[in-house]
């Protein structure tokens, strides 16, 4: 297949979307085929959850959306490119590490926001 005829896999993966919800639908996460977080919806009622519960819900939804996106992305890869090579293995490990690092950053921000909301919700003396 000539280079001009080959599908632009990065564009295809970036366009692919998967969404997953957690905490009875109070948290919804959307990722693309590269495992980048492209959407995060937190229902205001989720603020009643503890920061640990909210963090767990975000991680759960992100993990399920990421797994579904990765499965769909794998199906979109032409058979000729599915052969595992050391370079591909390294690249996939880098993508996975990057996705985990980004999720850790998101969880830190979510925990900070939850803590701020908890402080704001405290009755004033």
**What φ, ψ does residue 84 adopt, rounded to 5°?**
-80, 130
Residue pLDDT, tens place only, 14-31: 888 999 999 999 999 999
% of the chain residues with pLDDT over 70 = 87
Residue pLDDT, tens place only, 58-79: 999 999 999 999 888 888 776 6
Residue pLDDT, tens place only, 76-102: 776 656 666 787 788 888 888 888 888
Is the pLDDT at 4 greater than 50, yes or no? no
pTM: 0.60
User: Which pLDDT score, from 0 to 100, does residue 114 have?
Assistant: 87
């Amino acid at each position: 297949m000539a280079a001009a005829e080959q599908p632009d896999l990065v564009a295809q993966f970036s366009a692919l979307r998967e969404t997953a919800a957690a905490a009875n639908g109070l948290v919804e996460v959307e990722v693309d085929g590269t495992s980048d977080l492209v959407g995060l919806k937190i229902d205001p009622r989720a603020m009643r959850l503890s920061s640990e519960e909210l963090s767990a819900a975000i991680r759960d939804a992100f993990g399920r959306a990421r797994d579904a996106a990765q499965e769909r992305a794998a199906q979109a890869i032409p058979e000729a490119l599915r052969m595992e090579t050391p370079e591909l293995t390294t690249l996939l490990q880098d993508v996975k590490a990057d996705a985990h690092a980004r999720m850790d950053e998101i969880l830190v921000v979510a925990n900070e926001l939850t803590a701020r909301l908890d402080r704001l919700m405290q009755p004033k003396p």
